[in-house]
């Protein structure tokens, strides 16, 4: 079962029956073109004024641009929110599950 932090947010960590905590941080690195599409889509939503997308993302457009273009990947939570708000699909649940399955197969192979 996933844990909840002190702010009430679910975290990608689970306490095992023997007390060990297993965390699974996930970072996704969209291509430069996909990052451009996401940023432009966010800008369009902001311009339309139909949703307070910056509030929903928890960051402003400038910081989003920094995250998209100056790092080698972004947290999966942010990408899932961006996909939901913009309608642009970059990664699927199946993509992430397959990656983790492949990694577990390799580790415990």
pLDDT in tens, 63-101: 999 999 998 899 999 999 999 999 999 999 999 999 999
Is the full-model pTM beyond 0.85? Answer: no
92's tokens: 């699927």
Burial of 79 (0-12, 13-18, 19+ CB in 10 A): buried
For the chain, the domains span 26-108
């Amino acid at each position: 079962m996933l844990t909840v932090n002190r702010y009430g947010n679910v975290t990608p960590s689970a306490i095992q029956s023997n007390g060990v905590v297993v965390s699974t941080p996930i970072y996704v690195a969209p291509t430069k073109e996909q990052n451009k599409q996401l940023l432009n889509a966010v800008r369009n939503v902001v311009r339309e004024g139909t949703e307070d997308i910056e509030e929903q993302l928890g960051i402003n457009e400038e910081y989003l641009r920094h995250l998209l273009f100056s790092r080698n990947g972004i947290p999966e939570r942010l990408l899932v929110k961006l996909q939901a708000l913009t309608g642009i699909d970059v990664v699927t649940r199946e993509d992430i599950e397959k990656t983790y399955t492949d990694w577990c197969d390799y580790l415990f192979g």
